[in-house]
Amino acid sequence: MKIVSIKSLIFPEVKVIKFERYKDFRGYFTESYRKSELFNNPNIDFFKNFEFLQSNESFSKRKALRGLHFQWNPYVGKLVRTLYGHIIDLFLDIRLGSPTFGKIAAYDMPNSQIESFGEWIWIPPGFAHGCLSLEKTLLEYFCTGEYNPKCEASISPLSEDLDWSLCDYKLKKIYHKFAFKTKLITHKDKIGFSIEDWKKDKRSDNFIYGQKIT
């Protein structure tokens, strides 16, 4: 695995890791994951104290909306990539006391076979995660904790009190064009918490800004 670049997004805890594809006349080959590279690379200290325990695959039809999900006991960080298709990836700060609590942002994640790189996005614990598919899309994501259905919750991606002020304007515009019209959202996701209701829920104490979460 050859890492091309690592960058922080509007929330410095959320990272994009680009890795090289080796292209020739047949197509390309790449190592999308190598444990020693990700966990021993001096530029990737944000994986310290984590390990990936579960791998998930998610297929979505065009205009499907998922999220905004988060877990605790165990906490689950997610390393996500688009295998094919195109999503707008969503991440929301749910850490009580954070200066960006309740703010949501997005990252454009198409997969193009002509690019000389692939990429992962890292969504650490303390952020809710979701996505809107702009075409038929297959996602892969590695998780730092095994799924526990008793300790999960979600903020509705349609909640009126989400703060979009930090989000890229073009992505926000695309999101709002589709999200409030799509029928491809589960009832469970649709009726998820609002920001205010989550803040009042005692389980929100599992996510405190500055608290060490592993």
Is 69 in the active site? yes
107, 141, 169, 209: the active-site residue: 141
28, 69, 84, 187: the active-site residue: 69
Is 176 in the active site? no
Spatial distance between the Cα atoms of 179 and 156, rounded to a whole number of angstroms: 11
Cβ pair 97, 208 in contact under 8 A: yes
Return the bridge partners of 127, or none: 93
CA angle 103, 107, 111 (to 5 degrees): 160
- How many CB atoms within 10 Å of residue 55? 11
The number of CA neighbours under 13 Å toward the Cβ of 211 is 16
The set of catalytic residues is 69, 141
